Structure 1
Amino acid sequence: MNKDQSKGHGKEAKGKLKEVAGKATGDKSTEVKGKAEKHAGKAQAKYGDLKSDAKKKTE
Structure 2
Amino acid sequence: MKLNISESDNSLDFNLALSVAPYFRLTETKVVQIVEYIKLTVSDWNKIADKYKIPKVG
Same fold (TM > 0.5) = no
Greater helix content: 1
Q: So what's the TM-score if we normalise by structure 1?
A: 0.40
| Structure showing greater relative contact order (alpha-carbon pairs closer than 8 Å, 6 or more residues apart) | 1
Computing the radius of gyration from Cα coordinates, the structure with the larger value is 2
